[in-house]
Amino acid sequence: MAMARRVPRYVLGSVQRNMSFKSLDPPSSLTHGIHVFHCPDAVGIVAKLSDCIASRGGNILAADVFVPENKQVFYSRSDFVFDPVKWPRVQMEEDFLKLSQTFNAIRSVVRVPALDPKYKIAVLASKQDHCLVDLLHGWQDGRLPVDITCVISNHHRGSNTHVIRFLERHGIPYHCLCTSKENKREGEILQLIQNTDFLVLARYMQILSGNFLRSYGNDIINIHHGLLPSFKGGNPSKQAFEAGVKLIGATSHYVTEELDAGPIIEQMVERVSHRDNLQSFVQKSENLEKQCLSKAIRSYCELRVLPYEEKRTVVF
């Protein structure tokens, strides 16, 4: 139920040229890189991208291209391998910068997971633990390529709870900032999340103000326990149950000033029937929420999510 960040962000359109291989695991002597590109459409972009990588001894393993119909805009994401001795990281940055200048790129980002720092995130959560616990275990198991700087909550958790014991064992700070209608403690939250790359709202049931979003300035990813744009706001499971739906879902999206209306990153669904009650609706929804949020975070870290128009995303 949270909101945050300005809009321009991000669904898929019409023209796709797709090359992929069964395995993206590079030989031991090579390193894996990712490059995403967003620029005005023009002849020869793919050729120049390929030449940029190949001229330094790199090899493209998979490439996705999206050119929306009648939009004159180009999107691509490339997985490639390279020898860091032959193509140093600094040189790589310079090469892709020249390419972006050639095509007046709106966005050109290169990432080398083995060499670059992991994304630093802070996690905001309220009373419910299921998304937070799943996220923590995903981080512990290495399924989520992030570093968690802290967990912030508006709900007190006792010292003997699973979450607190886990955080203490791994040295992750926990900050309890109880909120009220008059004081959302946003100034204190902003102090705690300095130097993070993005935020994750793991069922944080507070609405973030426009001032907060503008002050933070980076992306904020939220999980909504409903299949947006239906059933916005509070109690979406109850809303869906009373509406007699046959599919329930979860939606991970960017936070904007408009409640539950940010660009969608990931959605998951599960079938329900007349035999389900509200409790089983909620249980199925919670499982979807965990999976959906985890996948959205991975997609973001793997540079799979690109802005498309005002309220859409391209997700490669």
pLDDT digits (tens, 9 = 90+) for 227-245: 777 766 667 777 777 778 8
Chain centroid to CA 164: how far?
Answer: 25
Q: 129 vs 37, 42, 126, 151, 246, CA distance in Å?
A: 37, 48, 8, 12, 26
pLDDT at site 4: 45
* CB neighbour list of residue 283: distance below 8 Å, 6 or more residues apart: none
Q: Residue 18: is its pLDDT beyond 80?
A: no
Confidence band (pLDDT; 50, 70, 90) for 274? confident
Tell which wins on pLDDT, 282 or 66: 66
In three-state secondary structure terms, 186 is: helix
| Residue 291: strand, helix, or coil | helix
d(CA 92, CA 111): 10
Nearest to 129 by CA among 99, 92, 184, 167: 167
pLDDT above 90 covers a percentage of the chain that reads 72
Which residue in 164, 169, 142, 145 sits closest to 153, CA to CA? 164
Q: What is the set of active-site residues?
A: 260
Query: How much is the mean pLDDT over the chain?
Result: 89
At 283 the pLDDT is: 85
Whether the CB-CB separation of 270 and 290 falls below 8 Å is answered with no
Work out the burial of residue 217: count CB atoms within 10 Å of its CB; fewer than 13 is exposed, 13-18 middle, 19 or more buried: exposed
Q: What is the pLDDT of residue 103?
A: 98
> Residue 84: its pLDDT value, please?
96
Q: Set out the domains of the chain in order of their start, with CATH numbers.
A: 31-111 (3.30.70.260), 119-315 (3.40.50.170)
3-state secondary structure of 308: strand
Q: 112, 58 in Cβ contact below 8 A?
A: no
Q: Where are the alpha helices (DSSP H) in 41-161?
A: 45-54, 89-102, 130-141
Under 8 Å between Cβ of 198 and 219 = yes
Residue 11: pLDDT band (50, 70, 90) is very low
